[in-house]
Amino acid sequence: MKIIRNGIYCLLHTFVIAIFLTATTVMAQTAGIGTRTPAATNNTEVVTTAGNIIIDNTGKMGVLVANPLVALDFRSGTNQSVAIGMTNQTAAQAGAGALRYNPTPAIGVKGYLEYSDGTKWIGYFPYGKPHIVVMAEKTTQDVYIFEPGAIPTIGPQTNGMPQRTSAYLTNWTEKLDSDSGTPTNTFDPSTGEFIAPRDGVYFATFTFALQANYIKSWLATNANQTEAIWEVRDASGTIKQRVKTSNGYPSDTGSAYNTSGGTLISGSVCTVSVFMVKGDKLRPFSWISLADNEFNYAASSRPFDTTGGYNVLTIVEQ
Amino acid sequence: MDKKIFTLICLLAFCYFNTAFAQKTGIGTRNPVASSTMHIDGAKNNATAPAATKNNDDVVVMADGKLGIGTITPVTRVDLRSNDQKGIIGLGTNTGQTAVQAGAGAIRYSNILPGVLEYSDGEKWIPLPQVPPIKALVLANNKTLQIIADNNTSQYVTGWLAVKNDPDVDPGGFTPGIPNFNLLNGTFTAPRDAFYIVSFNITLATANIPNNSRFETIIESNTSTNNIQAFKSVNSYPGFNTPVPNNIVSGNCNAIFNLKAGNTIRFRVYHTLGGNRNTSIANLGVDNSISIYEL
């Protein structure tokens, strides 16, 4: 029993010495990967075919740099750049001084650098901040009646603006839907609806004009009028804001029954700056009261003038 | 003696399990930080240096791949933020790769522009801005009497009075040193590929407004590529068996254009008022105005 005990003791003694020696070795030597003779000034050296990646005794890392001057030094050879990517960390999580590459467009560029000041990401925009720009021209006679008026039925119509009935202007020809010049998808030309991709102030203008026709509302209470309206709804569809331009006409043109009557192009323009939060919807609609037939409003819808420039919309993020 | 042996066995067992299960590598330190894969103690001072400074020379690779230099708690992929305030990157030039080869997000110290950092957006090297980008801005009024004929579709407003029309000094821009808006012929030339927001107000001096006449305020560009070429705003004057009024006529139009450098914008009026009409020269020219700004 005593022999066994002594034996174990001796074995343990050897272990203890071995551990001590190992520890001493680790503490004293520099580590080399791919080399047996790392420099004494370096803590760690990793050999590559292009040169060494080293960590010196002050903790500075040199990537193919023998004597790093800063925490991370790339300055030697031909390709001395660094590449960074995007993070979904908040500016607070990443902390002040963090740098990321945001791969979304700004004016003139496909992506831009941002740094954190500890609370927010701040972008470097070489040619200007990001801007959504939408341009469309109306080349169809399609509208969508959404509030019954003289026309009692909600739904699409294909023969221009109905009388005394609120209708969205639909089926546009999209000319541009871009984020800072890069194609995006904020505008639906079939519905005429724009959905804000981010919070911001959006400057929007649309024009509409109707083909020449008689301007004559027969009832004295139905004044001649054309209205252009921008409407903002939130993501759930609740109306947040409507901005209206109304053109009132103090007289008639006469009618087909008057030999001295004449026809005339009519329309309105609405220009707004609206604040929208991400997901809000912006859509143009019109309302007109120009009918020459008090008995059959449905037959007296007014086609749009699609000869160019009269029915256009643009939306720009400020 | 039994107690000592037991202690040693426990210690050995602990070391064994520690090594086998945590799989941490320490270089220059026997105590790699928790949740690190590798911990390098540059100055080998973790056991002796004060806690506030002992990690300034450390490099860690964490289990989730984050690299910390001068910090043992990296929160970003590469984290250089150390207590000694020396956590900076030394970037050099990159003459061997194009912006496409280096890829979006690459950053270099420019070998072309002195003292400038550049980054790649995947297509080109872009200098980090040191001053705000130059943007065109034109404000002008008009008190030059101009006769606008009836039913004529090619009458542009000319003879403008600049309120703001500075020369564009962008060295890469179009015709440097020359204002973008030609006051005499009323043509704006885009200095850069950009979006331009334009407004136009015009007034015709007091004259007859016949029944069923109309007036159009028009802003035109010379391109239809990804662009709406013309914006027209119509004012209509219906009348039937009413006396012909005598008054000013005016209109307003707003437009946004997507232009390439060298494309142009012009301002036009159209009317069916039945004869020549004069533009208004009253109110020091503010009856007629334009504004153009580059987005």
Indicate if A29 and A171 belong to the same structural domain: no
Q: What is the pLDDT of residues B3-56, one digit of tens each?
A: 666 555 655 555 554 444 556 888 888 888 888 888 999 888 888 888 888 899
Domain end residue (candidates: A73, A106, A121): A73
Check CB contact of B7 with chain A, cutoff 8 Å: no
What ipTM does the predicted assembly reach? Answer: 0.79
**Cβ separation B239–A84 shorter than 8 A:** no
Q: Which residue has the higher pLDDT, A6 or A231?
A: A231
Residue A20 has what pLDDT? 46
Coarse DSSP helix, strand, coil percentages of chain A, rounded to the nearest 5 percent? 10, 45, 45
Q: What is the pLDDT of residues B59-79, one digit of tens each?
A: 999 988 899 999 999 999 999
**Cβ separation B81–A95 shorter than 8 A:** yes
Look up the domain containing A27 and give its range: 2-73
**Cβ separation A176–B211 shorter than 8 A:** no
**Cβ separation B105–A84 shorter than 8 A:** yes
Q: What is the pLDDT of residues B269-278, one digit of tens each?
A: 999 999 999 9
Looking at the domain assignment, is residue A100 inside a domain?
no
Domain end residue (candidates: A26, A56, A73): A73
Query: Where does the pLDDT of residue A30 fall: very low under 50, low under 70, confident under 90, or very high at 90 and above?
Result: confident
Let me know: does A56 contact A41? Beta carbons within 8 Å. yes
Size of interface A-B (CB pairs under 8 A): 280
Closest residue by Cα to residue A284 from A203, A185, A186, A206: A206
**Cβ separation B105–A101 shorter than 8 A:** yes
Give the residue-averaged pLDDT of A284-304: 80
How far off is chain B from A257, nearest CA to CA, in Å? 12
Edge to edge, what strands does the sheet with B117-120 contain?
A82-83, B106-109, B117-120, B125-127
Q: Look at the domain B137-294 and name its fold.
A: Jelly Rolls (2.60.120)
Indicate if A39 and A167 belong to the same structural domain: no
Domain end residue (candidates: A73, A96, A121): A73
Check CB contact of B65 with chain A, cutoff 8 Å: no
Domain count, chain A: 2
Residue A296 has what pLDDT? 64
Strands B78-79 and A112-116: unpaired
- Sequence ranges of the domains in chain B: 137-294
Looking at the domain assignment, is residue A95 inside a domain?
no
Residue B200, SS3?
strand
Residue A42 has what pLDDT? 85
Indicate if A237 and A308 belong to the same structural domain: yes
Looking at the domain assignment, is residue A51 inside a domain?
yes
Looking at the domain assignment, is residue A33 inside a domain?
yes
Residue A23 has what pLDDT? 44
Q: What is the pLDDT of residues A32-61, one digit of tens each?
A: 887 878 888 888 888 888 888 999 989 899
Looking at the domain assignment, is residue A264 inside a domain?
yes
Indicate if A144 and A293 belong to the same structural domain: yes
| pLDDT at residue B178 tops 90 | no
B contacts of A38 (beta carbons < 8 Å): none
| pLDDT at residue A255 tops 90 | no
Q: Which residues are bridge partners to A156 per DSSP? A: A144
| pLDDT at residue B171 tops 60 | no
Q: What is the pLDDT of residues A179-214, one digit of tens each?
A: 998 999 999 999 999 999 999 999 999 999 999 988
Of all residues in chain B, what percent carry a pLDDT higher than 70? 89
Indicate if A313 and A212 belong to the same structural domain: yes
Looking at the domain assignment, is residue A111 inside a domain?
no
- Which residue do the tokens 């950009």 mark? B194
The letter for the amino acid at B118 is E
